[in-house]
Structure 1
Amino acid sequence: MGTLLFDSDDLDVTEDFLSRAYARMRIGSSTPEASRTRIRRDVMASVSVDEIDLDFDMSYAVTPLGKICLCTVHEGTIQDHVFHGVRDAFGPGDTVVFAPPELSYAGRVHAARYNITMLDPGLLDQVAATDAGPQAEPVRLTGHRPHSPAAARHLKHTIIHLRDHVLSDPAVYQQPLVASASGQLLAASVLAAFPHTAATDPRAQDRTDAHPATVRRAVAHIDDHADQPLTVAEIAAAAHVTVRALQYAFRRHLGTTPLAYLRRTRLAHAHRDLQAADPLGGVTVADIAARWGFAHPGRFAALYRDAYGTSPSRTLHT
């Protein structure tokens, strides 16, 4: 985990770096005498965010990444992007999935500045409803373009949030709860943006299982493990129901979602830590917020004020 900066005008060096950072690939340029590449890579568990700036035209052919690879184009274009019978082109403002994790792809970048965000496919299973049982299929994306401009904008905002407010500060992204929550946030935004195979509506058995005892088991597990990385799938397993049944039970009996309840529980722990902290001991609001999975101090302060009617800094110094 951490930040890596790359700057080279040597095409062979760039190819070697890209092959190590992504997957084995071949790149080429029509102007090898002017082939400067600048990359900033920020990495935490299961997620990486890269900003790439090319001042030349580059062709690429990439072996399967084994990860979901998102691309947001800032400037320039990506032409003749192909994988498994799909051919497309992307320009400024577009956010796409380059290819399914198990497929190769190829194309040409035209003097572009763009973002590459990669995540482990297993993150989708942590936040999506899948069928229970040993034959359950992993959640897969079924399209490479977002299904609506609004969903694409929300995904881009999530990526920017991770880049600017999580991965920019090692003291934040090295907190286990921040890494877990951030990965799930990105996965949920991906599922909201692209068509996928995840089930969304509760089935008859899910409705039957969505009784108060399910909520009690899930709440007990959250309360006992709020200081540990948790996923919706893990909470559902602890409650002995499917993810769909868990989500339906929380919506029916508590009017909220499992992750929203988890966030509220962690907010309460942060509140108690702020009350107990010595304001002269060097601890900060940001320290306590990150400890409980809140990466953005401003958002934490807004949530805190809504819940407790005061600011976290006032609580710390009272």
Structure 2
Amino acid sequence: MAVARKRPRWAQWNGEWRVVEQLSFASESLSETEAFLSDAYTPMQIGGRPERTGTRVERRTAGGLIVDELAFDYTMSYDAGCLERICLLTIHQGTVADTTGGKEEIHGPGETFLIAQPDRPYTGEVRGSAYTITMFDPGLLTAVAGGPDGGPVRLTGQRALDAAGNRILERTVAYLRDDVMAGPAADQPLVVAGAVRLLASAALSAFPHTDLDTAPARIDRGDATSDTLRRAMDFIEANADRDIGLAEIAASVPLTPRAVQYAFRRHAGTTPLAHLRRVRLARAHDELKTADPSTSSVIAIAAKWGFGNPGRFAVEHRAAYGISPATLLRARR
């Protein structure tokens, strides 16, 4: 018999209260598992003979990011529809055999791969496997890539280009699963938004993808003036508390993301996103100086401004201001 438990929490996203959902599912029934997987992912038909514990799924979702931990103690075949999302599988044990193209492709422990193009059905087998699934909106690839208009950026391969890219994906997935989505950081919109962008960036660096950046470089250089930099910086200062990225910064100018990137390199020696991070670090620093240590914490303030890793935040804060955030907060006592 299926066991499904929902543990919703609430967090404020862009002024609206939304559910940060946690869901658990366990069953030894093939029909119950098929119904759950069809509802959680896409309509599908599955086959197999569940054994001791059958299927186990732990789901966490927030801010457009879905992180699932799944385990199957049997070989389960699947014939599934379109996911409409980027879906990455990181295998911990067992194997997954993809048969979508008519040829069997085996993926094993330690590998992170794209299970299917978002707009295409897929087939295969999960063979006594445990793995993590991470899913996000395909449109984020285009936003993160920062290419000019002309069409969406798409991943063109299922496997990482090399072992280094695969390691980056594996570490990124582990960070999202263990640090961001498993604790209080999942309640912080900027942390989750940054984590989703980080995952999209890792996917773009690891997988082959379409190259749509065809704008002439001379036009971008001509647009990359000090005024471009000033307008972009003004936008960042006014919106640092919102979920913004390169696409939103460029649209505020408005110029191509490439032109804005060039303006930052030429006139400020940095990148738009690095500048955004420095502004958020400064906002967190100011809040630490005025916060009440009896009711505030370094972790909460860091997460509010998009820093999901307290240790890394402490290192960056000390490098910028010569004092640890904990010491600065205690000074208010």
Q: How does 1:242-281 map to 2 (within 5 A)?
A: 242-280=256-294
TM-score, normalisation: structure 1:
0.94
1:128, distance to aligned residue in structure 2 (A): 1.1
Residue aligning to 1:114: 131
Q: Is it true that 1:219 corresponds to 2:233 in the alignment? A: yes
User: Does structure 2 retain, via aligned residues, the 8 Å contact 1:9–1:35?
Assistant: yes
Structure 2 unaligned spans of 5+: 1-19
The alignment of Structure 1 onto Structure 2 pairs a total of residues equal to: 311
Q: How does 1:229-240 map to 2 (within 5 A)?
A: 229-240=243-254
Residue aligning to 1:66: 84
Residue aligning to 2:153: 139
Q: Is it true that 1:98 corresponds to 2:115 in the alignment? A: yes
In the alignment, which of 138, 159, 179 is matched to residue 173 of structure 2? 159
TM-score, normalisation: structure 2:
0.90
The C-alpha deviation readout for 1:113-134, integer Å capped at 9, x for no partner, is: 11111111011122112223xx
User: Does structure 1 retain, via aligned residues, the 8 Å contact 2:110–2:170?
Assistant: no
1:198, distance to aligned residue in structure 2 (A): 4.1
1:195, distance to aligned residue in structure 2 (A): 1.0
In the alignment, which of 26, 49, 53 is matched to residue 7 of structure 1? 26
The C-alpha deviation readout for 1:12-59, integer Å capped at 9, x for no partner, is: 111111111110111100x34556111111111221111111111110
SS of structure 2 residue aligned to 1:239: coil
The C-alpha deviation readout for 1:182-233, integer Å capped at 9, x for no partner, is: 1111111111111112446872211221121111110010011111111210
Q: Is it true that 1:23 corresponds to 2:42 in the alignment? A: yes
Structure 1 unaligned spans of 5+: none
- Taking every aligned residue pair, what percent have the same amino acid on both sides? 47
SS of structure 1 residue aligned to 2:116: coil
The amino acid that maps onto 2:61 is: V
Q: How does 1:29-108 map to 2 (within 5 A)?
A: 29=48, 31-32=49-50, 34=52, 36-79=54-97, 81-84=98-101, 87-108=104-125
1:180, distance to aligned residue in structure 2 (A): 1.6
Q: Distance in 1 between matches of 2:117 and 2:103?
A: 11
Q: Distance in 1 between matches of 2:211 and 2:135?
A: 20
1:174, distance to aligned residue in structure 2 (A): 2.0
SS of structure 2 residue aligned to 1:218: helix
Q: Is it true that 1:228 corresponds to 2:242 in the alignment? A: yes
The amino acid that maps onto 1:242 is: T
Residue aligning to 1:124: 141
Q: CA RMSD in A?
A: 1.6
Q: Distance in 2 between matches of 1:214 and 1:85?
A: 51
